Amino acid sequence: MQPTSHAFVENAHRALNDAQLHAALGHMKAGFQDKRAATIARMPEFEDLRDQGRAIKNHTLAHLDAYLERFEAKVTETGGRVHWAPTPAEARDAILKICQAAGARTVTKGKSMIAEEIALNEHLAANGIEPIETDLGEYIIQLRGELPSHIIAPAIHLVKEQVAESFYAHHTELDPKRPLDDARALTDEARAMLRQRFLAADVGITGANFLIAETGSTVIVTNEGNGDLTQNLPRIHIVIASIEKVVPTLEDSATILRLLARSATGQEYSAYTTFSTGPKRPGDLDGPDEFHVVILDNGRSALLGTPAQETLRCIRCGACMNHCPIYASVGGHAYGWVIPGPIGAAINPGLIGLEEAGHLPNASTFCGRCESVCPMRIPLPSIMRHWRERQHERKLSPGTVRAGLGLWAWAARRPRLYRFGTRLAAALLGRLGRRRGRLKRLPLAGGWTDWRDLPAPEGRTFQQHWAARRSGAGR
């Protein structure tokens, strides 16, 4: 997709004024946060599992070439085919070729963030092949011509009335007076509408949560069962996955799967976890005749050996965005590209460039909740800081910020002046905010205080407090 991350500031402003969006995002606490906390409380080994998950991925990334080669060898051995795609264009072309060779007219799709990343639907449609999203959330946003706003709940920005509106508008063969006033009726209607599409599709395209080097298997994790119907019914199954999805063994995937659903939806395990290995076997009564795996790089290999390498451990559980105060205020669309939230801020500059995504690492309060819930222990705030530093070096940050930081650095190297300056500022701000303990506006920092209040200093500086603390302790 075409990123609009450069317009984050405008996007975010719009989102902050969108009452319907806030109503929709309001479901996140009960829907995600509370459930996650409850499930994790039932798994006393969760912290140790996180350590192991991190170790598995670190080991894999350090030997990524060898594991990918082994994965390819196993896919070939079991009758499938691997296609290597360094760029989105090469991935799109590989998939289009397979579809065209099969004479495909319709393609069903399981939810895949990589397919979004390479803008696959647009490419297929431009070449006369109709892509049909089958995940309920993806189906809804496809009808609306929108993009997913969350990596595991693509339609989280919508309320049910908006979904009903879209169904009335698109399912014109149905009685226009039918009631569609709850999630049950909407789910049933989507189920009925998509059944025929599943059965008629020539090709099924899914993503992969894991690729298993040991066996050449691809793994999908879903709750709806749409991914399984997508990959089992058509003659051809194409898997699209990025290079970092590989893990060594079935056991390694078992460990990370213990982290995934708990972190994502707060389930103990998702309803369906499916391991697919090659096309159907002799004697099989169903399953695809052809099995293809397209492996995408798109800038990921260039992150190896940099501080952003750690983002490649991500298992796309969504926990970081589910717990992010910024995401909860502006929603996923404001981030302007496929991956929103803290992980988007940490990885998108590496995938679409700092010029495009430079605002995202700044969209953080550095509260640290994302890192504290990330099952793969990705240090998201420090990776955002890394991008900010790159941005500053390359003079991509706004002039006021650069001037302000420059002034601060100049003063900070002059301790007496610094102490005087901060004392003055603290006293001044303390007086300004005395009445409510919060500052509504800060001169020269409107971008900050328009949407959040700065806690007013109490009138003394950190250094003064520290000195008082020290002398108190010495008494």
For another protein, the binding residues in 243-272 under the rule CB under 8 A are 243, 248-252, 254-255, 257-258, 265, 267-272
Q: Please, what is the minimum distance in Å from the beta carbon of residue 318 to ligand SF4?
A: 5
Give the nearer residue to ligand SF4 in terms of CB position, either 124 or 256. 256
The Cα diameter of the chain in Å comes to 85
Choose the contact partner of 154 out of another protein, ligand SF4, none; CB within 5 to 8 A by kind. another protein
Choose the contact partner of 320 out of ligand SF4, another protein, none; CB within 5 to 8 A by kind. ligand SF4
Sign of CA dihedral 240, 246, 252, 256: negative
Question: Which residue from 143, 203, 260, 303 is in contact with another protein, where contact means CB under 8 A?
Answer: 303
Q: Is 148 in the site for another protein (CB under 8 A)?
A: no
Contact flags string 153-192 toward another protein, x per CB under 8 A: xxxx-xxx--x-------------------xx-xxx-xx-
Choose the contact partner of 285 out of ligand SF4, another protein, none; CB within 5 to 8 A by kind. another protein
Give the nearer residue to another protein in terms of CB position, either 59 or 392. 59
Q: Is 318 in the site for ligand SF4 (CB under 6 A)?
A: yes
Contact flags string 264-283 toward ligand SF4, x per CB under 6 A: --------------------
Q: For residues 206 and 118, give the distance between their C-alpha atoms in angstroms, rounded to a whole number.
A: 13
Choose the contact partner of 399 out of ligand SF4, another protein, none; CB within 5 to 8 A by kind. none
Give the nearer residue to ligand SF4 in terms of CB position, either 54 or 74. 54
Q: Is 361 in the site for ligand SF4 (CB under 6 A)?
A: no
Q: For residues 299 and 378, give the distance between their C-alpha atoms in angstroms, rounded to a whole number.
A: 19
* One-letter amino acid for residue 166 of the chain: S
Q: Is 347 in the site for another protein (CB under 8 A)?
A: no
Given the rule CB under 6 A, which of 166-174, 310-318, 428-436, 446-454 is the region that contacts ligand SF4?
Answer: 310-318
Question: Which residue from 163, 213, 343, 352 is in contact with ligand SF4, where contact means CB under 6 A?
Answer: 343
Q: Is 465 in the site for another protein (CB under 8 A)?
A: no
Q: Please, what is the minimum distance in Å from the beta carbon of residue 63 to ligand SF4?
A: 20
Choose the contact partner of 315 out of another protein, ligand SF4, none; CB within 5 to 8 A by kind. ligand SF4
Structure token pair of residue 90: 């090469």
Query: Considering only residues 10-29, where is the footprint of another protein by CB under 8 A?
Result: 24, 27-28
Q: Is 309 in the site for another protein (CB under 8 A)?
A: yes
Question: Which residue from 68, 295, 320, 334 is in contact with ligand SF4, where contact means CB under 6 A?
Answer: 320
Contact flags string 23-42 toward ligand SF4, x per CB under 6 A: --------------------
Choose the contact partner of 223 out of ligand SF4, another protein, none; CB within 5 to 8 A by kind. another protein
The count of chain residues that interact with ligand SF4, using the rule CB under 6 A, is 14
Question: Which residue from 246, 319, 351, 363 is in contact with ligand SF4, where contact means CB under 6 A?
Answer: 319
CB 270 within 8 A of CB 260: yes
Sign of CA dihedral 83, 87, 91, 94: negative
Q: For residues 419 and 130, give the distance between their C-alpha atoms in angstroms, rounded to a whole number.
A: 66
Three-state SS for the chain is CCCCHHHHHHHHHHHHCCHHHHHHHCCHHHHHHHHHHHHHHCCCCHHHHHHHHHHHHHHHHHCHHHHHHHHHHHHHHCCCEEEEECCHHHHHHHHHHHHHHCCCCEEEECCCHHHHHCCHHHHHHHCCCEEEECCHHHHHHHHHCCCCCCCCCCCCCCCHHHHHHHHHHHCCCCCCCCCCCCHHHHHHHHHHHHHHHHHHCCEEEECCCEEECCCCEEEEEECCCHHHHHHHCCCEEEEEEEHHHEECCHHHHHHHHHHHHHHHCCCCCCCEEEEECCCCCCCCCCCCCEEEEEEECCCCHHHCCCHHHHHHHCCCCCHHHHCCHHHHHHCCHHHCCCCCHHHHHHHHHHHHCHHHHCCHHHCCCCCCHHHHHCCCCCCHHHHHHHHHHHHHHCCCCCHHHHHHHHHHHHHHCCHHHHHHHHHHHHHHHHHHCCCCCEECCCCCCHHHHCCCCEECCCCCCHHHHHHHHHHHHHC
Choose the contact partner of 290 out of ligand SF4, another protein, none; CB within 5 to 8 A by kind. none
Distance of alpha carbon 16 from the chain centroid:
20
Choose the contact partner of 142 out of another protein, ligand SF4, none; CB within 5 to 8 A by kind. none
Query: Considering only residues 193-212, where is the footprint of another protein by CB under 8 A?
Result: 194-195, 198-199
Question: Which residue from 99, 115, 236, 317 is in contact with ligand SF4, where contact means CB under 6 A?
Answer: 317
Which stretches of the chain bind ligand SF4, using CB under 6 A?
A: 263, 314-320, 343, 373-376, 378
